[in-house]
Amino acid sequence: MQELPTGPFVTTLAEAAAAQGFVSLFNGQDLTGWDGDADLWSVEDGAITGQFGEGVKLPFNKFLVWRGGEPKNFELRMSFWQEGNNSGIQYRSRELAEVGPFSVGGYQCDVHPNPPYNAQLYEERGRGIVALRGQKVVLAANGDRWLIGDTGPVEPVPNDEWHLFTVIARGNHLVHKLDERVAIELFDHDPEKRALEGIVGIQLHGGPPMKVQVRDVWLKVLPDGGLLSPADTPLPPDAEKL
């Protein structure tokens, strides 16, 4: 596993910003600072643990939500172990009370057993798959999706091992990393559908029984700004409309 940062444990975004570096959002002992369905989430072996077994049917995907604030620009790191159905890091997102308690919509860094979906950018209850692992994508103001390059080969990664997932958000430029290698890169120019701030959460996916564990939850607040215009990211001649 890659070397991880060290820093104080905080429960609010103001504390994280004041630290001017990486801070921990998880104390390794309990769910202080987090909120979710108590029947689904706990701490086991020093890790945030979400799980349900046979006979349990979730009415919708449910999330453990960090209650410290709604980060704008940041670098967020989490180490995941997962079996069964997929999970993910929700960020710059919003709660959907009309769906039900702990339903969330917005950007997601997928934690998925299928290699092209692992660390992809998926918009929960929104635009769906935005950028598969290995893709660099521009979302145009009219909603068109353009493939402008790649981030390298897509190789299988066993999710029943610990792996580090990273999200970097600056303005409308988003990057996901898997074990420190860039997995996707996105420039989102759609003013109606993009998000520039929002909540952070961890997903339990409805469907078959599953278990996900998360540790090493680190957040670094980055300066505000960084909004790019379409002119800043012109489409290359070989861009492919998706």
Q: Where are the domains of the chain?
A: 13-241
Q: Does CATH number 2.60.120.560 belong to domain 13-241?
A: yes
Cβ–Cβ < 8 Å for 134, 154: yes
The amino acid sitting at 60 is F
What 3-state DSSP class applies to 16? helix
The pLDDT of residue 2 is 59
The pLDDT of residue 5 is 85
Which candidate, 140, 135, 148, 145, places its Cα nearest to that of 236?
A: 148
The pLDDT of residue 20 is 87
Which candidate, 149, 151, 85, places its Cα nearest to that of 114?
A: 85
Other Cβ atoms within 10 Å of 51 Cβ, number:
18
Give the CA distances from residue 149 to residues 109, 138, 190, 225, 235, in Å, rounded to whole numbers and listed in that order: 19, 10, 19, 25, 10
Q: Rounded distance, CA 218 to CA 175, Å? A: 16
Q: Say which residues have a Cβ less than 8 Å from residue 200's Cβ, sequence separation at least 6.
A: 25, 65, 66, 71, 76, 89, 90, 91, 93, 219
Q: Please list the ranges in the chain whose pLDDT falls under 50.
A: 1
Q: Rounded distance, CA 110 to CA 172, Å? A: 19
Give the CA distances from residue 7 to residues 26, 81, 112, in Å, rounded to whole numbers and listed in that order: 11, 22, 29
Cβ–Cβ < 8 Å for 141, 190: yes
- Phi, psi torsion values for 188, nearest 5 degrees: -105, 105
Please state whether the predicted TM-score (pTM) of the whole model is above 0.85: yes
Work out the angle at residue 50's Cα, subtended by the Cα atoms of residues 162 and 26, and round it to the nearest 5 degrees.
70
- What's the N-to-C CA distance of the chain in angstroms? 34
| 210-221 and 74-84 beta bridge pairing | antiparallel
The pLDDT of residue 124 is 97
The pLDDT of residue 6 is 84
Q: Rounded distance, CA 151 to CA 174, Å? A: 13
